[in-house]
Structures are given as C-alpha cells and as structure tokens.
Chain A
Amino acid sequence: MLLTKAGSSARWRCSSRHWMLILLTALVAVSVVSLLIGAGSVGPRQVLGLISGSDHAEARFIVWELRAPRTLIGIAVGVALGVAGALLQAVSRNPLAEPGLLGVSAGAAFAVSLALVLGASAATLRIPVAQLGALIGCVCVLSVARLRGVGNDPVRLVLAGAAFSGLLGSLSALMLLYDQRAADEIRFWVVGSLAGRRLDDLWAVLPSLLVAGAGVVLIARPLAALALGERAASGLGHRPGLIRWLAVGCVALLVGAATAIAGPIAFVGLVVPFVARAIAGPDIRRTLWFCLPVGPLIVLTADIISRVVVAPSELPLGVLTALCGAPVLIAVVRAKRLPML
C-alpha cells in the first residue's frame, strides 16, 4: 500500500487512480446506505419502493427531509475535518496534530457557549463565532508548537492540547451551569452529532467552505515545498510565514464551519489524514486529494452506525469517532519512530 518507494511514476499514478475509484465507489455506496437505513421504522424496502414510484408519504418525508440533508451535511463535515486535519498536520509537522485533540474544536465550542451566555441566539451568530473561536484556538496551538522544546516533541503538543481542551470544556460547563437558557439551547449541540441538522445550516457555511477550498488549492504546492524545510521552501520562492498563516486561516474556517454545524467531533482529523497518507504517501498534495473521499466515508459510516446501534434512539457521532480514532492514536504513538511531517 505504501507507494513511497515505487520507482516509476506511471505505476503509482495508475495505482492511486484505482484507489480513488474504489474510494469514490465506496462513498457513493455509503451515501446510498445512509439514505436507506435509519433509526425509525422506514427501512430499505420502503425507500426502494419510493424510487420505483410508490407514494409513501412518510417514507418520502423521512428520506428527503431528514436523511438526505443529513447525508449531505455528513459529507461536508467529513471533507472539512479531514482536510483541516491534513493541513494542521502539515503546518505543525506533527502526525498527531488534530483539530479536536489540539483544542481547536474546543475553542470553537467555547466561543459559541460564550456568545450564547452573553445573549446571542443560537441560530444567528453561531458560524462566525465558531470560526473566530477556532482561529484563536489554532493560533494558541501553533504558537505553543513553535515554543522551544514543545514543538520538537509531537507527543508533548498533544498533551498540551488535551489540557487546553479539558480546560475550555470545563469553562464551558461552568458557564452553562450558570445560565440555564444557554444550556438548553446548546445541550444537543455540544455532544457532536449530525442528527436534526437542517439543510439551511449547510447553505450558511457553504461560502466559508468554498473560500477555504480556494485557499487550500492556493497553498497546496507551497505546503509541499514547506515539507522540505523552511530554507528549501524559501529557496523555491515561497514565503513560509505567509503560507503558515494562510493554512491556519483555512483550518479555522473549516473547523469552525464543521463545528458550527455538527458540534465538536474529535479524532476525524486524525484518522482521515492517517488513512489518506497510508494510501497516498508523504506528498501533501496527494494526501489532500485522498482526504476528500476518505473524510466523508468515515463520517458517514460512523453516522450510520450511530443510528442503528442503539435504535430507536441515537448515539452522538463523537462517541463513535472516538471509539475508532483512539486506536489510531495509539497506533501512531506506538510506531517505533514518529514520522516527522
């Protein structure tokens, strides 16, 4: 699977095209399954009947008003978190850097809680506030990563991130204890889930996702150069400081958007680049391409499982991503030598 050593470029290009095809097929399949299966009584048979022309009002409503938006939002969240994870790992040169693990998501969640307690209503302000919080969290994390000593040790950065998110989490809990109204508004958001999100939310974050996408396209090449080291990058005509700031901005936009819709979801930004890198090798440009199908694939799969495993109720998505992400974290840490990105 690791194609780093493949000599002829034609061979791995062919192989990576195969991989892309497989992943896209899997993504389509998972999306269809996500439309077919749910916690309610409408099963695959009714949904398939809908296609063949039956007029089952309940099935129609559930599929088009509940499951289709949910699937779309799952795809958007998966893309955003996966790409953000890959970017953050490339910028901090740390295979453990993950928006949830390093406290970026916690920063967004904290900002939203703060705004709610200060009197904003949940619907209006959530997205920009979450993005601002994510930006502040990003800046904190990266300035810590550039501190002497901490930045050289990926694992220590993770510990700092865990402490940071723990602190922000308890501060949020404190504020919500104090303000019952805000607690009611936010209770179902802080756990991280795709359930009950409306399509309007997706339209609201779409502009920022597009802006971030454009930014990623701009900085993909310079980031690949930055992987060679700062000197090599500036020798090749790039400006490392500027690239880093642009990347941080993109991460903040992406994580803020994903958190604003779905709440803080941990470990997706770790697992997706991990899988993508295993397929694509060390080049950040190819890794980013592979994050596009892998992210939604993982988020949608976790979401489907979260619907069926405790049916008729549902499980928060964050629980499932933690269950599948923590083993990956341990696997990365257990590797004999942490790969420096």
Chain B
Amino acid sequence: MKNTAKQSLSGVALPHTSTAYHEEASAQAVAAPQGYWRAALPRYGVSVLLEKRALVVNIGLSAALLAACVLYLSLGSVTLSPNAVVASLVGRGDSMTTFMVQQLRLPRLIAACFTGAAFALAGVLMQTLARNRLATPGIIGIDNGATAFAVASIVGLGVGIAPPAMALAGATTAAVLTFGLASGSGTQGYRFIVAGIGVGAVFGAVTQLMLARVAIDTANAAYPWTVGSLNARPASAVQLLGIGLALGLVAALALARSLTLLRFKDAIASGLGTAVKVGRLQVLLLSVVLTALAVAVAGPVGLVALIGPEIARSLSSARHVPILAATLAGALVMVLADLAGRTLFAPIEIPVGVVTAVVGGPWLLWILMRPQRSRP
C-alpha cells in the first residue's frame, strides 16, 4: 500500500527529496526499489525514480506509433517509399510528393493522433474514476451528447456557435445527466453504465431527429458525425484539440497520484491523503473536456477509449494508472484504424468509426463474457 501511495507514476519522473526517501528505505538508503531505476542528482539533493517497465512500454509504444505514422503517410492511393516520406517531411522531396504528404496526408494523420490520444486519455480517466473498465465516455453516452450538440450547430439550430463549443456543452450535459441519474446507485457497478446507455440512446435519437428535419445536403454534411470519420476535418477544431490535449495530458499527469489512489475504496483513498470528491470532480471534468474536443474533430469513435487503455493496461504493471501509455496506445490504434479504413477497401473509404466498432465490439464482448478478475 505504501509503495503505491508514495512512489513514482507510470514512467514519469516524480521528484523525491532525498531526505524523505531516506526515511522510507532505512536499510538500503540509496538503492532503488526492485523494478525501478533511480536517477539521482546528489548536488541538488534530488532523486528521481523511474519504473523500468513503464519506461520500456512507453518507449516501445512511441516507436510503434512513429512507425505507424510513417506507414500512414506512405500508403494510400499513391504509395510512397518511407524514404520519400521522410525526405518530403523535412522539405527535401519533390514538389508533388511534398504536396501529397504535407497538404493531404499529414493534417489527417495529426487529427488521427490527437483524437486517438484524447479519446484514450479520457477513457482511462473515466475508467479509473468509475472503477470499471467498461465505463468509457462512449459507452456512458458522453460521445452521443457531444455529437448531438455538434450536429445541432451544423444544421443551424445553435446560431453560429462553433462545433467544439457545442460539443463541450453536449458532453457536459450528458455527463451531468448520467451521473445525476445514477446518483442513487453510485458510480460503481453496471447500473450506472446502463443509465449511461439510456442517456446515449436519447441523444442518439435527438441527433436523428435533427438530421431528419434538414435538407438532404445538410444531412449528408452532418453524416460523418453520426459514425465517426476523419475525412476533411476542420483545421481549427484540430488545433483546439491539440492545445486541449497538451494541457489535459499535463493535468492528468499532475493528477496521477490521486488517480492511483482513487482506485481504492473511498475510505482508503482519503486515509492516504486524497480529497476524494475534489479529485473525482477534477478527473471527470478533464475526461469530459477531452472527449468533447475529440468528438468535435472526429465524431463518436468511442471504442478507442476502450481499446487504448486495455492495451496499455495489459502492457503495464498494475501499480499505476498507465496514463501516458494509454494515450500513446490510443493514438496508435486510431492511426492504424484509419489507415485500414483508407486502404483496405480502396477506393471506398470506410469511416474510422466503423473500423473501430468492428474491431472493438468483439473485444468489448470478450471483456464482458470472461470471468471477472482484475479491475483497472
């Protein structure tokens, strides 16, 4: 218990003053605990513990993400060699290749990375908050709420408010509804999730309602919102998501310690010095904002929020909430899914939402069916 409480976070440097550290480990004062590397700066009295496994996992996932990105940029209607891609990225390719990579594929790649990362980060936060690996924002209706409001702004009901702002309003509404309606039964257990499914169904119906009211052209323009697609996304929303993701990641890492503790019972968490209610509220807020910003870019691709954290959790040790690993894994999944959607059935493009649903649906079923053992 003490280990979990005091020591470093998933692969992230946590400064310990060496005096405090001495008090804890009495016999072997300077040796790092098993599974950790200790990087010390004796001159400044600062030492840092790095979990070996988390470090390896994060570096491995980053490498895989990088490779997937190069693959993403090189495959398509015209196949480029990886060398040409790298050359045109640094501005040394021929003009045609440079245009294709920098103007056509790169913006979409960035959108994929950002949305995947944001969905997965929001997912891991929400799962930890609810202590249930199925409680991702998509499943408890937050995606649908954000989508409904964003579609409202597109079909012209919300006078001129940009989709990201409306998505934020929708996500907040859905979250408040779900948590409010489930308040009697607590955030644990499955009732909370079914209340979320109900809320999601209402917002899904509202989306359909709005799409039925408008002319067919507007409805077609809003169609990607109903399945989730990365085709021709607005650049401003992507920029906003980038800023939000950076801030959100920093905030999540700052919250990492209280996140680790939120996995325990309330009594234990508050006994170890966490303000449980405040912590929950912060985590919930962060998760809702990230989901909303991501939905504003890509529509409801909620299952990434399930798959990303699952991958990260299976790779990492159970000691911490794998925040960084989940973020990287989410980006990786999104990039690969969109790559598959673009290339598998070319020239028909499969929306990324359909790809993730086809892959993530069986996974979700498997999680439900197998015997219950571990928890996030």
**What residues make up the interface of A, taking CB atoms closer than 8 Å to B?**
96, 144, 147-150, 153, 155-156, 158-160, 162-164, 166-167, 169-171, 173-174, 177-178, 191, 266-267, 310, 313-316, 318-320, 322-323, 325-327, 329-330, 333-334, 336
> Judging by beta carbons under 8 Å apart, are B365 and A266 in contact?
no
> Judging by beta carbons under 8 Å apart, are B209 and A327 in contact?
no
When chains A and B are docked, how far (Å) is the Cα of A329 from the Cα of B190? 13
> Judging by beta carbons under 8 Å apart, are B358 and A177 in contact?
no
> Judging by beta carbons under 8 Å apart, are A333 and B361 in contact?
no
Residues of A within 8 A of B209 (CB): 310, 315, 319, 323
> Judging by beta carbons under 8 Å apart, are B205 and A156 in contact?
no
When chains A and B are docked, how far (Å) is the Cα of A153 from the Cα of B357? 25
> Judging by beta carbons under 8 Å apart, are A315 and B212 in contact?
yes
Q: Which of B190-249 contact A (CB under 8 A)?
A: 190-191, 193-195, 197-199, 201-202, 204-206, 208-209, 212-213, 227
Chain B interface residue number, banded? 35 or more
Residues of B within 8 A of A163 (CB): 361, 364-365, 368
> Judging by beta carbons under 8 Å apart, are B201 and A159 in contact?
no
> Judging by beta carbons under 8 Å apart, are B369 and A333 in contact?
no
When chains A and B are docked, how far (Å) is the Cα of A325 from the Cα of B104? 44
- Confirm or deny: B354 has a beta carbon within 8 angstroms of a beta carbon on chain A: yes
Interface centre among A173, A191, A267 (most CB of B within 10 A): A173
12 A-B contact pairs sorted by A residue (CB < 8 Å): A155-B191, A164-B361, A166-B357, A167-B365, A315-B212, A316-B208, A320-B205, A322-B201, A323-B205, A327-B198, A333-B191, A334-B195
- Confirm or deny: B77 has a beta carbon within 8 angstroms of a beta carbon on chain A: no
> Judging by beta carbons under 8 Å apart, are B372 and A334 in contact?
no
Question: Which of A153, A178, A191 is within 8 Å of B345, CB to CB?
Answer: A178
B9 to chain A, nearest CB (A): 31
> Judging by beta carbons under 8 Å apart, are B357 and A170 in contact?
yes
- Confirm or deny: B160 has a beta carbon within 8 angstroms of a beta carbon on chain A: no
Residues of B within 8 A of A166 (CB): 357, 361, 364
When chains A and B are docked, how far (Å) is the Cα of A158 from the Cα of B227? 22
Residues of A within 8 A of B348 (CB): 177-178
> Judging by beta carbons under 8 Å apart, are A333 and B365 in contact?
no
Residues of A within 8 A of B202 (CB): 322-323, 326-327
**What residues make up the interface of B, taking CB atoms closer than 8 Å to A?**
134, 139, 181-182, 184-185, 189-191, 193-195, 197-199, 201-202, 204-206, 208-209, 212-213, 227, 345, 348, 350, 353-354, 357-358, 361-362, 364-365, 368-369, 371-372
Given A315-B209, A323-B205, A326-B202: A160 touches B197 (CB 8 Å cut-off): no
Given A149-B372, A173-B354, A316-B212: A329 touches B201 (CB 8 Å cut-off): yes
B310 to chain A, nearest CB (A): 14
Question: Which of A159, A319, A327 is within 8 Å of B194, CB to CB?
Answer: A159
A6 to chain B, nearest CB (A): 29
Given A178-B348, A322-B205, A334-B181: A149 touches B358 (CB 8 Å cut-off): no
Given A149-B371, A167-B358, A334-B185: A155 touches B198 (CB 8 Å cut-off): no
Closest 10 CB pairs of A and B: A167-B361, A170-B357, A155-B190, A322-B205, A326-B198, A330-B198, A326-B201, A329-B198, A163-B364, A319-B205
B203 to chain A, nearest CB (A): 9
Question: Which of B191, B193, B350 is within 8 Å of A174, CB to CB?
Answer: B350
When chains A and B are docked, how far (Å) is the Cα of A325 from the Cα of B200? 12
B47 to chain A, nearest CB (A): 45
Residues of A within 8 A of B368 (CB): 150, 156, 159-160, 163
When chains A and B are docked, how far (Å) is the Cα of A162 from the Cα of B134? 12
> Judging by beta carbons under 8 Å apart, are A174 and B181 in contact?
no
> Judging by beta carbons under 8 Å apart, are A313 and B213 in contact?
yes
Complex: chain A residue closest to B348, CB-CB: A177
> Judging by beta carbons under 8 Å apart, are A167 and B357 in contact?
yes
Complex: chain B residue closest to A179, CB-CB: B348
> Judging by beta carbons under 8 Å apart, are B213 and A159 in contact?
no
Residues of A within 8 A of B195 (CB): 330, 333-334
A332 to chain B, nearest CB (A): 9
When chains A and B are docked, how far (Å) is the Cα of A96 from the Cα of B201? 15
A189 to chain B, nearest CB (A): 15
Residues of B within 8 A of A319 (CB): 205, 208-209, 212
Question: Which of A159, A310, A315, A330 is within 8 Å of B199, CB to CB?
Answer: A330
Complex: chain B residue closest to A314, CB-CB: B212
> Judging by beta carbons under 8 Å apart, are B201 and A158 in contact?
no
Residues of B within 8 A of A153 (CB): 190
B370 to chain A, nearest CB (A): 9
